[in-house]
Amino acid sequence: MAKQIIVGVCAGISAYKSAELVRLLCKADYTVHVVMTKSAVKFIAPLTFEALTGHRVYTHLFESQHPSAMDHIELARWAQSILIAPATADFIARLRCGIADDLLSTLCLATTAPIILAPAMNQKMWSNPATQDNIQSIQQRGIRLIGPGIGDQACGDTGPGRMVEPQQILDQLSDADAADNLLTKRRVLITAGPTREPIDPVRYISNHSSGKMGYALAHAAINAGAKVTLVSGPVAISSPQTATTIQVQTAKQMHDAVMGHISCQDIYIGCAAVSDYSPAQVSTTKLKKNADTLTVILNKTQDIVRAVASSHADVFCVGFAAETNDLEHYAREKLRDKQLDMIIANQVGIADGGFSSDNNAASVLWNNGQQTFSLRSKKRLAVDIIKIIAQHYYASKHTT
């Protein structure tokens, strides 16, 4: 099915790649309208895009005197998605603030369609805390990013900031389109982050989970149309705006929050690194270091994912397995033992992947099959995992 897309072009040297991007989109059956910023026309002529799309190119906010022109509200309503490539640092900053002083920024404010950015800028501008802050803020509003890529830049620098190649942008766009609405009207409960088990008022037992994997899953599930409840241990990531987020500290609190919200869910994903043990006694005062050794007695915590699987057969139950060795062997054991529908096995204790890293590799295992995903960003992996969960969730509904 052809999709209606606006391609926004900002003023950057990689605007020359936008022509190829538009050509590929047209070839892939998208109907494309191009909107250029005032300065973008200094890098590439509107005529190029007119020839490629067969439609006039929009460059100004007030040009409705042209007979075939749509005004900005019409355009905003027409678009099924807006892809801005290249998206400059300046445009991203204006988008973050909701400034509407030209056609492209006004469209972004007036549309309800998903907005996707392919950033392109000098690597220092990309790494600048101001840009990173803007990126974090717009991502929380649901704006998606493709790239930037890492490599040689037109200015002679090397680093992150290159616009991703047009074919890759198209591939990611098609993947996202396929994932869109996959979980519409489904309710998904996701746990993320570590738990903290107090020993005394100043010390606790915990682990290295940053919450990145679980939060990426929450974003991916939201983008797939799901209503997400996120039960999160203490992490330094802001909650997705459209999720219901419940903040907890301990394994017991996480257990109670999950069990209190599980009955109306369709899918449960246990991504949190829940402490397996908790101190039997919590001192009310700071423990003194009088003795050479200290013994802390630990009690097993309640296994949350097991409790969900055994008490709610109607909920599609997905666990994670974090292992340092014999990954698939231990993961299959957990899949069987905890009676899960699916388990995601990932290796921990390695430099790139597992805990804290922005990247991860995983094998998704179910009763009689598996699929392996090589190392990629956790955001990308989350989209892949949500897709495979959705497939198996719907298949399970057909067989019951």
> Would you name the residues annotated as active-site residues?
155
Minimum Å gap between C-beta 14 and ligand PMT is 31
Cα separation, 157 vs 193, in Å, equals 36
Beta strands in 248-315 (DSSP E): 267-270, 277-279, 298-300
Tokens 């001192």 sit on residue: 283
Contact pattern for ligand PMT over residues 304 through 343, marking x by CB under 6 A? xx-------------xxxx-----------x---------
Stretch of 142-150, 182-190, 291-299, 346-354 lying at the interface with ligand PMT (CB under 6 A): 346-354
Stretch of 72-80, 116-124, 150-158, 302-310 lying at the interface with ligand PMT (CB under 6 A): 302-310
Cα separation, 358 vs 252, in Å, equals 28
Cα separation, 365 vs 328, in Å, equals 8
Contact pattern for ligand PMT over residues 265 through 294, marking x by CB under 6 A? -----xxxxx-x------------------
Site for ligand PMT, residues 197 to 226, rule: CB under 6 A: 209-214
Q: Which is nearer to ligand PMT, 32 or 383 (CB)?
A: 383
Q: What's at 238, amino acid-wise?
A: S
Q: Which is nearer to ligand PMT, 58 or 355 (CB)?
A: 355
In the sheet that 115-119 helps form, which strands lie side by side, from edge to edge?
31-36, 4-9, 81-87, 115-119, 144-145
Tokens 């397996």 sit on residue: 276
Minimum Å gap between C-beta 211 and ligand PMT is 5
Minimum Å gap between C-beta 195 and ligand PMT is 8
Minimum Å gap between C-beta 17 and ligand PMT is 32
Site for ligand PMT, residues 83 to 142, rule: CB under 6 A: none
- Smallest CA-to-CA distance from 241 within 140, 114, 138, 144 is with 140
CA separation, residue 79 to residues 5, 33, 112, 177, 229 (Å): 5, 9, 9, 14, 29
Asked whether 391 and 398 are in contact (CB, 8 A), the reply is: no
Q: Which is nearer to ligand PMT, 182 or 322 (CB)?
A: 322
Q: Which is nearer to ligand PMT, 265 or 346 (CB)?
A: 346
List of residues contacting ligand PMT (CB under 6 A)? 193, 209-214, 251, 270-274, 276, 301, 303-305, 319-322, 334, 346, 348, 354-356
